[in-house]
Amino acid sequence: MTDPRLRHGRASLAFSFFSQGVAFALLVTRIPAIQDRYGISDALLPLFLAAVPVLAGVGSVLTGRVVRRVAVSTVLRWAQPVVLLSLLGVAAGDRLWQVAVALAVFGLAVGALDASMNMLGVGLQRAYGRSIMLGFHAAYSLGGIVGASLAWAGAHWDLTLVVSYLPVVLVLVPAVAAASRWYADEQRCAAQVVDGDPQAQPAGSPAAFRLLLPLCLVMTFAYIGDSTVSNWSAKYLQDVLGSSEELATVPYNAYMVTTLVGRAVGDLGVRRFGAVAVVRCGAVLAAAGFAVVAGAPGAWVGMLGFTVLGLGLCVIVPQTFAAAGRLFPAGSGSDAAVARLNVFNYVGFLVGSPLVGALGDAWSYRGAMLVPMVLVLVTLVYARSFGEGGARYGGGHERPRVVDVGRGGNEV
């Protein structure tokens, strides 16, 4: 039977992922309303939007340094309320400098939040001895669907940003604060070997960058694919495939639903077939989805392509974080690897949308869809970086489930 502290830690961290999904969806889906509220010009808007992932990357790097001295749970415990309150700050201001400050705080806090959530997730998966990372990211996808639905309701009833955001913040801030008491920090033990892997490397070793680089590339390519869907699916369906404006909103929702479904069942696949097989399957499915989108004769076939994309891309990012945890020793080495890897989340997000837009304008949007297709297929080249048999977390590889988790200086 699993240690109760592990179960509580898992549930509280899943709620943290869910809350982050809600907050991020509320921000990105109401960008037009934010632009109107502050009078941000079309020329200036890309600078505001780019600043958030850039500052998030800074926040992730800083978190990798901070957790050398402070428990990961402490960073997460403070970062999540700051994200939610800065979201409210975006809605509450009335001057350009105020939204700039709020978005800057949001970006830095999101970087710290993403990094610390995945650090705790990697540590919990190590303690469980079986794949659970996809479940955390499924909670994020569910939060994204809830947040997007709340944003739709706010827009539908013409609610102000403050009225739309305030109830969510009032509910989630005390909820995440209460749940944070059960965060489970991984036991810091320099002699521990990651998942029994004698190849595990300390983060500061000369081989560390070489080990992590394939995963960084995979993370970047996955987020280029993800940002292509989030930023261009509606425009592609309407302008290229001739759909109505209403129908053009469907592909992203379908993508989010299949992302949730794929992540909800993905851990079972990893336990049964191993991380390498699941990542390879995801890469092939994602590439097939892009191929269908690029060659679609009409809107319904295009939607099918975006739906398949969700099933493919959804497994890659969580398994990339898990692979980083297996490559480096438990504790600060693993945390530093996750923080560095998390930066490439934002690199992919920054590169993806402008890349597809530039190629679409210079060449064709059908042709532009082939670029993320090729990039995601490169994941097949690096699939071995996701581990060998020990990455299976199932069958003969699963460890006993009664495992203690160190308190890391905090109550669990």
* pLDDT in the model for residue 234: 86
- 10-residue stretch averages of pLDDT, the chain, 412 residues long: 84 97 90 90 86 95 93 96 97 94 97 96 91 95 91 88 96 97 71 42 61 93 94 89 84 91 95 94 97 96 95 96 84 84 94 90 94 96 78 42 36 33
Measured CA to CA, the distance from residue 80 to residue 2 in angstroms comes to 27
CB 316 within 8 A of CB 282: yes
CB 224 within 8 A of CB 352: yes
CB 392 within 8 A of CB 274: yes
**Structure tokens that stand for 380 in this block:** 């097949």
- Enumerate residues 6+ apart whose C-beta is below 8 A from 20: 80, 83, 110, 113, 114, 117, 140, 143
* pLDDT in the model for residue 46: 84
Q: Give the residue among 206, 228, 231 at the shortest CA–CA distance from 45.
A: 231
3-state SS string for the chain: CCCHHHHHHHHHHHHHHHHHHHHHHHHHCCHHHHHHHHCCCCCCHHHHHHHHHHHHHHHHHHHHHHCCCCCHHHHHHHHHHHHHHHHHHHHHCCCHHHHHHHHHHHHHHHHHHHHHHHHHHHHHHHHHCCCCHHHHHHHHHHHHHHHHHHHHHHHHCCCCHHHHHHHHHHHHHHHHHHHHHHCCCCCCCCCCCHHHCCCCCCCCCCCHHHHHHHHHHHHHHHHHHHHHHHHHHHHHHHHHCCCCCCHHHHHHHHHHHHHHHHHHHHHHHHHHHCHHHHHHHHHHHHHHHHHHHHHCCCHHHHHHHHHHHHHHHCCHHHHHHHHHHHHCCCCHHHHHHHHHHHHHHHHHHHHHHHHHHHHHHHCCHHHHCHHHHHHHHHHHCCHHHHCCHHHCCCHHHCCCCCCCCCCCCCCC
CB 324 within 8 A of CB 214: no
> Position 180: which residue type?
S
Q: Give the residue among 406, 213, 404, 402 at the shortest CA–CA distance from 323.
A: 213
| All domains in the chain, ordered by first residue | 4-397 (1.20.1250.20)
* pLDDT in the model for residue 152: 85
Q: Give the residue among 202, 257, 232 at the shortest CA–CA distance from 360.
A: 232
Measured CA to CA, the distance from residue 269 to residue 271 in angstroms comes to 5
pTM for this entry: 0.87
**Structure tokens that stand for 115 in this block:** 């990094």
